[in-house]
Each structure stands twice: as C-alpha cells, then as structure tokens.
Structure 1
Amino acid sequence: MQPVIIDGVRIFDGTSVPGIGSVECADGVITRVDTDPGSRPPSSAEVIDGTGRTLLPGLIDAHTHVFGAESNLQQALAFGVTTELDMFMGPPEDTRALCRLAGERHDLADLRSAGLLASAPGGHPAVTMPTLPTVAGPGQADAFVAARQAEGAHFIKIMVDDGVNHGRSLPALEPATVTALADAARRRGLLSVAHVSAVWSARRALDSGVDVLTHLPLEAALDDAFVRRAAEARRVVIPTLAMLEVSAPRSATGVTRSLADGPRIAAFLSDHARAAITEGREGLCVEHPLPAHRFRHALSSVARLHRAGVPVLAGTDANHRPGRACPVVHGAGLHAELALLVEAGLTPAEALTAATAAPAARFGLSDRGVIAPGRRADLVLVAGDPTTDITATRSIEAVWRGGVRFDREAYRERVASRTAA
C-alpha cells in the first residue's frame, strides 16, 4: 500500500493541537507525525495538501444501537465515525457476525457491542422482548455476565429503568442486583455501563459501582453531592445529549433536528434519514415526557460533571435504521452531540477529545483515538478549524479507516440515486 502523507495540516492529536505539520500513514497505521516546517516528504508517497484544514483522529460514537444493519455502519463512516460502541444488540450470533464483518471491511465503521443487556424480569425492555434473558436477583448476576462474555460482549450494559419515561410502571433491577452485575463484570475484566432514566436511577447506578453512566435525568440537574461522589469514584458519563434534546418537550427544533438543513450533512442522508431527523419520534429514550422534564437540566448536569473532572464521552444513542424513524441517526448525530457538548460548557477541543482519545482510553481501544506513530490510521480531514468552531467537523473532505480512504463521493452518489429511484 502506497504511503499517504497529509501535509501542511493542522493536527488535532486527540487532546491538543501540537501545530501545523504532516502525518504519514502506511499499511494501515500512522508511521510519522512531524511538525517540523523544514521536513520533506518521501518521493514515494501520495501527498495530500492539508493547507487550511484540520486532521482529526477517527471519531468514536460511545453510545449507539446498530440493530444488525450494515447500512448504519457505512453511514457512520461517511460522517467520519470510524468506531461505534453499540449498547444493545441481538441475537448474539448476529452481533458476533457483524462485529467480525466490521473488523474486516474498510467501508464500515468498526464495531464493539454489549450484546444483550441486563434487565429485570417484566421490566424495561424485557416486558416487550420475551426471549431476552433477565436477572431476577444478585445470585444470577455472575452467570448473566459470564454468558454475555462467552457470546463475545465487549462490555456489559445494565438497564436501571422503571419504564416511567415510556408510559409504564415496571419492575427495575434492585440495588443489590446492579451491584452484583457491576462486580461480576469487573472480575471478568469488562466495563459496566448503566442506562439511567432519572435521578433515582442515576443514584442507584452510582451507589452500585457501575463504571459508566449513560443518559442523564431530564426532570432535574444532578446536584453537587452526586457530582462530587461521581468524581471521587472516577465514574464516566455518556450523556447522549442529541437523544435527550429530541426527547425533551418542545423539541420540534434544536441542534439535532436542524442537522438535515445544511448541505454538508443532508447530501449524505437518504430521504428516510432526513425525514427521521426532522419529524421522527421513534426510539426516543423518553417517549412520555413529564412536566418537569427540561433539556436545560441535562446541559446543566454536563457542565457540573465536566467542571468536577468527571470524564464526559460523546455518544448519541443513535438507533435509526431503515423502517425505524429515530431522529438521531448514525454518523450525522455525532456532529450534533459535539455541538451540544460545547453548548453545555466544554471547549471545542474538549468536545473533540470526548469523541476521540477519551472513549478510546476508557473502553480499552488502545490502537486508536489518537494521532501518533503506531496507532491505527483512522483519520478525518475537515476544512477549517473545529478546535475553535465545532461545526467545522461537518465539513469533511476525507475519511480513512485503517489507512484506506472511504469513497465519500461514491457513497453520496449512491444515496442520491436511491433517493431518485
């Protein structure tokens, strides 16, 4: 494979901008990062002019639901998302097959998955999925985690939810059971991730020692005591602001809903995905908002967590697929998430870290998330400077996955032809 050099480019290495320079890739990995203005690229390399552009590590969406759809992973890659962390998918054999396929093909985002999640018997979502294995008490926790690990799960997802946000009143996992699940995952070297739906469930997950909390309450901001304890316990939060924004009352407009308005995004979306962004209501994490629900509560929680030093990761809860009109779609949704993280108080550079180096470090993806020699050549080239204007991430000029450039123009033409048909 011919070496590729992106030259004269602003480099965001995953945490900071070391300067203007060149990045060389060969055989799927980054071989050289050079900010010496006097260096000369080797004559054998393909040289890409990066003047006026910024090179980012491939973006990582830390919370998605792929539903077994290859098309979701291809759409994600078109928008610069080179890795997705799937938080619930089944059946296990299909999940394993798609993870394996995503690891082999360079035209799909790479994939890690929790596989089947842990929920209470008769709880959410088990009440509508009779074949989903459940956990009736602490004594069943270790067997549940062992079974998921044997099926190939990369981490353990725990549902701490009573169904109220979905118009139901259902059993939820008891505190001792959540603790037992988190402990069982830790013994087996797996991270535990808790879906939290409200203040009470966030507290239960925190008290139970779960490693990562995903979603945030809409009925109230997390208080200072909770934030302080989360920081002391070194917890991690994936707020999924894009999903919370469209789930909150009066969400007819907003950052996420407006994604389809701009040509940088819209040109790479199918008609169905565009309609889902603007009008869709399926797959929301809050289907029945209560009067106290406000999106500003989630923004306030992110600001408090971030100020306290709690790592905040960029994850969207994208769960759109053909035939399912969820307004948070794969790939595009992460650009809304980045803008909302900045709205919540992160700097643009901190938001970029939340979608690159931070999730790679927290989920053990030591081969990616950073532009450095020896790392995977998962890269995104954008026009402008997203470290000062986060919306510049939408001006994608090139995407590489494992050193192979994704043909975005061919993808755009396929989307356009399907739309015309």
Structure 2
Amino acid sequence: MASTAIINARVFDGENVLPAATTVVVSGATITAVGGPVPDGATVINGEGCTLLPGLIDSHVHTGIPQLELALKFGVTTELEMMGYWDAESRRQIAERDDLADLRTASYGLTAPDGHPNQLTKRLDASVPLPHHHHHETPSGEAVLTTATTPDEAVTFVKQRVSEGADYIKIMIEDGTVFASPGLPMLSRETLSAAVTEAHKHDKLVIAHAMTYEAAEVAAEVGVDGLSHLFLDRGADLNILEKLKGKFIIPCLCLDASILGIKPTTFARDHRVSASLPQTWLTHLNGSMDTFPGGDFSTVLKIVAALRETETIDVLVGTDSSFPVPHLAGIAHGASVHYELQLLVEAGFTPVEALRAATSVPARCFGLGDRGLIKEGLRADLVLVQGGPTGDIRDTLSVKSVWRRGKLLASTAGL
C-alpha cells in the first residue's frame, strides 16, 4: 500500500504540541506512524515551517453537498449536523466521498408544532438546495413525526430517529426571543424529559438548542448531554454553571455575533478567506442576522471565559452554518470554523485550548473514536497549515494541504 510521509512539520496531535518536528506516516486511510523513519518508497511531503493538525470538526451545522465540499477546502473534515434531512443511502455516499467533509446528523430536531425553527425555514424559498428525503412513513408504515405535543409522541419521535440512523438527538427549547419572534410554541418539560429518557435508553446523546437563560436551565433540568448555544438574554449571570457541570457546550460565537448585529467584515477581508469563498458565500459572510441587537457580545465572551475556568464543562467549536440566505447571514461553512477559533482566543482560550475544541474534544464528546487526534491507527484526517497556530491562532487559515481518509484533497495539492 502506498504511503505518504509528512516530515519536518510541527505537530499538534489534538491534545498537545509534540516537542520536536515529527514524521507522520499515512498508509491508505490510516495514520500508521507518529515518529520514526520515512518508509521506503513513501511519497514525502516537506512540512518545514508548517504545522500538522488533526482534521477540524465543526460541531454545529446544517448542511448540504456543496457545503460539505466547501468545509473540506478549509480543513474541516467532519461536520456534525444538528438538524437535517438525509436518507441512509445519501449518508453512505457521503462517507465514501473523499472530496467532502464527513457527516454525522441528528436527523429531524424535536420541536413543538410551529415551533423553532419553523419561523426561519418558512422564509426559505424553493431556490435553496436543502437536502430532503421526503419520506412520510417509516419502514414499518408509521407516519413520520417531526414534532410532538405529548411525552408519548416524544418517545415515538426518538424511536423513529434512532431507526433511521440518527447519531444523536436534538431538541428545541426556544421561545423566539433572540430571533425577533417572541412567543414561539415550546415543548413542555414533561415532553422534553420523555425524549431525553428515551434517547438515553438507546445510548444516544441529547443536544439542546437553548439561547436564553431559562431555556438553558430547562435543558440542564431535563438531563441533556450538551447545549448547542449560549444564552444571550441575561448578562454574565453565571449561577447556572453549577447545573451545567459535566455537560458540553457549543457556543457558536460567530452565530451570536450575527444575531447581535455584528458583521465579521475584518475576518472576511482576510485574503485567505475572500480568495477561497465563492462570491455567494463571501457576500453571505459579510452580513448579519441582527435579530437581538440589545445583547452585548463582550458579555458573551465573559460567559465563555467562565466556562473555560470551570474545567468541568467542555467547550466545542461550532458555527451553526447553514445556507446562504439573508436571514441566516454572517456565517460560512469551513471559513467560520477559523473565525470561531479566533473568537475563543479572544475570550481567553489559549490557541492550544481552542484547537482542542475543534479536534480532540468534540471527538471525545461525540464518541468519534477514530478521529480528532494524530495517533497511530486513527483515520488520516489531517490539515497542514503554514505557520504556527499553536502560537497565533490566525495561522489556521493558511491551509496548504488537506487529507480526508488519507486522500489528499486535489484543490489543496501543491499549494
């Protein structure tokens, strides 16, 4: 089997920076050596002046084939979808396509009839290329439930998601406050608890959408495993942190900034971003949602800093990237992962801590035992970047080469 040896690069293995330039050997789809000699006949990649990273993981997206392709170009080798509509065959095809980021998904997210995100999705027109499987019955002939009103319906919902191959379960706890849509229908605590209990019976994680303080409290009380957002409505009230111990949080700071009306214009002007994004996505990135302008982003950063200080709550990189439509503006697949890393550092994370939040930490939290680390025997999902992002996080944008399952992405070959 043909081998590739990446030599002379600094290596961040997902947890730590290795003490000296280390040769990493890839054979087929697998990392076969970290350290040691270059095998006879191996293709040699000289990584002098570069840093080798595990493939990056975006822990919160809504995606499609073009988005998975764009993400991989920026070194994001896995996207974790928090609500989507993929059938089993589509997922099998994605798993085998090394020109796309890999995918894990919650399938449908549990919400109340007319609850979040219906106020957003109903604004999408037919031109938006959403992936749909369009089925209305399960294989056993039951009607597919995409909402619930009772605990029994929530149990059925979870069973259906498990049967169709959902990797985890997503529940919505959203009254619309931060989306300029107050009064959205919400699920009762009893219904949410039933969903969580049923999911755990099937060994599935439960991730809650919760963007207000009260919603975060409810999420903690019903026993979810992770939260896919931060609360934006109550300043730096940190009393809730005790309730969140042992859970993980995907803050999606780039989304928070967009909701608060902050446009990432400086980031978007970086030539490494502007030259790599299609114009549609660059225009989209330069916008914002601006649905909760009364919030304060500096307070959001303080909350993230407090999460870091607890050392009992894992923080994961996620963007909530979705589709390039105006009311979801300010975020772009792939590129915004790098912005999220920069925002975590702005909040007080060290660059190494931020990089862990996009590699080993999400792999551990989501049970992705084959990735997130540069370690012998794991998938060869790798990113080679110019410079030293463990010292200057902005260097993650200087992507030279990307490997997905050991296959060099053609568009990055020889950059």
Task: Say whether the fold is shared (TM-score over 0.5).
Answer: yes
Relative to structure 1, is the Cα distance of residues 182 and 222 closer, same or farther in structure 2, using a 3 angstrom cutoff?
farther
Structure 2 contact 14–374 (Cα < 8 Å) conserved:
yes
> How many angstroms apart in 2 are the aligned matches of 1:236 and 1:367?
20
Q: 1:304-352: per-residue Cα shift (whole Å, max 9, x none)? A: 1111011000000011348986321100010000000111111100000
Q: 1:143 aligns with which of 149, 153, 156?
A: 156
Q: CA RMSD in A?
A: 2.1
The aligned amino acid for 1:257 is T
Relative to structure 1, is the Cα distance of residues 18 and 129 closer, same or farther in structure 2, using a 3 angstrom cutoff?
closer
> How many angstroms apart in 2 are the aligned matches of 1:86 and 1:32?
31
The aligned amino acid for 1:267 is A
The aligned amino acid for 1:142 is V
Q: 1:361-386: per-residue Cα shift (whole Å, max 9, x none)? A: 11111000000000000000011111
Q: 2:317 aligns with which of 314, 318, 321?
A: 314
Partner of 2:163, secondary structure, is helix
Match of 1:56 in 2: 53
Match of 1:192 in 2: 206
Match of 1:107 in 2: 99
Q: 1:70 aligns with which of 40, 51, 65?
A: 65
Cα deviation for residue 186 of structure 1 reads 0.8
Partner of 2:395, secondary structure, is helix
> How many angstroms apart in 2 are the aligned matches of 1:324 and 1:267?
24
Cα deviation for residue 8 of structure 1 reads 1.3
Trace 1:147-166 onto structure 2 (pairs within 5 A): 147-166=160-179
Structure 1 contact 8–51 (Cα < 8 Å) conserved:
yes
The aligned amino acid for 2:198 is A
> How many angstroms apart in 2 are the aligned matches of 1:156 and 1:143?
13
Q: Does 1:42 align with 2:45?
A: no
> How many angstroms apart in 1 are the aligned matches of 2:22 and 2:412?
26
Structure 1 contact 63–315 (Cα < 8 Å) conserved:
yes
> How many angstroms apart in 2 are the aligned matches of 1:341 and 1:204?
26
> How many angstroms apart in 2 are the aligned matches of 1:332 and 1:194?
25
Structure 2 contact 178–259 (Cα < 8 Å) conserved:
no
Structure 1 contact 64–315 (Cα < 8 Å) conserved:
yes
Trace 1:390-405 onto structure 2 (pairs within 5 A): 390-405=393-408
Q: Does 1:269 align with 2:277?
A: yes
Cα deviation for residue 139 of structure 1 reads 2.3
Q: 1:334 aligns with which of 329, 334, 337?
A: 337
Structure 1 contact 259–332 (Cα < 8 Å) conserved:
no
Q: Does 1:350 align with 2:353?
A: yes
> How many angstroms apart in 2 are the aligned matches of 1:8 and 1:409?
19
* Mean Cα deviation higher: 167-176 or 384-393: 167-176
Q: 1:385 aligns with which of 366, 383, 388?
A: 388
Please, what TM-score do these two structures have when normalized by structure 1?
A: 0.88
The sequence identity of aligned pairs, in percent, is: 39
Q: 1:89 aligns with which of 84, 87, 96?
A: 84
> How many angstroms apart in 2 are the aligned matches of 1:28 and 1:162?
45
Structure 2: 5+ residue stretches without partners? 123-135, 137-144
Structure 1: 5+ residue stretches without partners? 413-421
* Mean Cα deviation higher: 53-62 or 321-330: 321-330
The aligned amino acid for 1:124 is H
Cα deviation for residue 2 of structure 1 reads 1.6
Cα deviation for residue 42 of structure 1 reads 2.1
> How many angstroms apart in 2 are the aligned matches of 1:128 and 1:271?
23
Match of 1:416 in 2: none
The aligned amino acid for 1:274 is L
Structure 1 contact 119–126 (Cα < 8 Å) conserved:
no
> How many angstroms apart in 2 are the aligned matches of 1:262 and 1:44?
39
Cα deviation for residue 103 of structure 1 reads 0.3
> How many angstroms apart in 2 are the aligned matches of 1:166 and 1:302?
21
Partner of 1:21, secondary structure, is coil
Trace 1:6-45 onto structure 2 (pairs within 5 A): 6-19=6-19, 20-34=21-35, 39-45=36-42
Please, what TM-score do these two structures have when normalized by structure 2?
A: 0.90
Cα deviation for residue 43 of structure 1 reads 2.5
> How many angstroms apart in 2 are the aligned matches of 1:269 and 1:126?
28
Q: Does 1:259 align with 2:259?
A: no
The aligned amino acid for 1:31 is T
The aligned amino acid for 1:73 is L
Q: Does 1:235 align with 2:244?
A: no
Match of 2:191 in 1: 177
Structure 1 contact 198–217 (Cα < 8 Å) conserved:
yes
Q: 1:84-127: per-residue Cα shift (whole Å, max 9, x none)? A: 0001112x53xx34322220010000000111000012322346
Relative to structure 1, is the Cα distance of residues 307 and 186 closer, same or farther in structure 2, using a 3 angstrom cutoff?
same
Cα deviation for residue 220 of structure 1 reads 2.4
> How many angstroms apart in 2 are the aligned matches of 1:319 and 1:299?
23
Partner of 2:72, secondary structure, is helix
Cα deviation for residue 167 of structure 1 reads 2.7
